[in-house]
Amino acid sequence: MTIHDCAQRTDEWRAMRAGRLTGSRAKAMLAKIKTGEAAARRDLRLVLVTERLTGRPEEDGYLNAVMQWGIDQEPMARAAYEGRTGQLVETVGFCAHDTLAAGVSPDGLVGDDGAVSIKCPKSATHVGYLRERDEPAEHWAQHTHELWITGRAWMDFVSFDPRLPDALQLHIVRLTRTPAQFEEYEAQVVAFLAECDREEAALRTMMEVRRG
């Protein structure tokens, strides 16, 4: 991968994500239904192709109150994690795959082989995480994508809520993936991006014909 030193959520960062499969989009890429293609997967393909044609991200940067809370609390969560584990977290911008239109914006890298995924959710959601020993199923795709892109051996899922009593504010779960899981995931990424390439090529051909 190549690490691009740009601040997350800036215009430069959004432009770098345009047309690429990112961690937040991985779940839609893996969406399946009994027959045909899942709407989430189809819509994602159209979004990526549109971004490639326009050079502009389709995301509008909208943030609701819950999302803004999570962003505002992330530095505190990172500091709490460092205090608990004694490990420093390196913040980075955008990590791009060297050969595929894919990338990720990790919440932080740890040492030579680790990473963190930080969530600062609603209090009830955080309490639900406290009751689980494994990662939340809804984040499996994102975490797999981040580990695959970065090549890290492990990731700590971190949930943080300073509104709770001190002993319950920080929750950490260590995540790993097997080589077989990475192989299966990469195969699905390659197949999906090939579909995006064909869609893009068809539209560019249409564009040339109409110009002609």
Q: What's the pLDDT tens digit per position in 104-147?
A: 999 999 999 999 999 999 999 999 999 988 999 999 999 999 99
Q: Which structural domains are found in the chain, ordered by start? A: 2-211 (3.90.320.10)
pLDDT at 85: 97
pLDDT at 162: 97
Q: What is the pLDDT of residues 94-114, one digit of tens each?
A: 999 999 999 999 999 999 999
- pTM attached to this predicted model: 0.93
Q: Which residue has the tokens 């060297």?
A: 98
Query: Residue-wise over 81-107: b if at least 16 C-beta within 10 A, else e?
Result: beeebeeebeebbbbbbeeebbbbbbb
Q: Which two tokens stand for residue 50?
A: 């549109």
Give which of 187, 91, 93, 90 is closest to 148, Cα–Cα: 187
pLDDT at 61: 64
Q: Which two tokens stand for residue 149?
A: 């892109």
pLDDT at 66: 84
Question: Is residue 212's pLDDT more than 90?
Answer: no
pLDDT band at 64 (very low <50, low <70, confident <90, very high): confident
3-class SS of residue 180: helix
Question: Is residue 63's pLDDT more than 80?
Answer: no
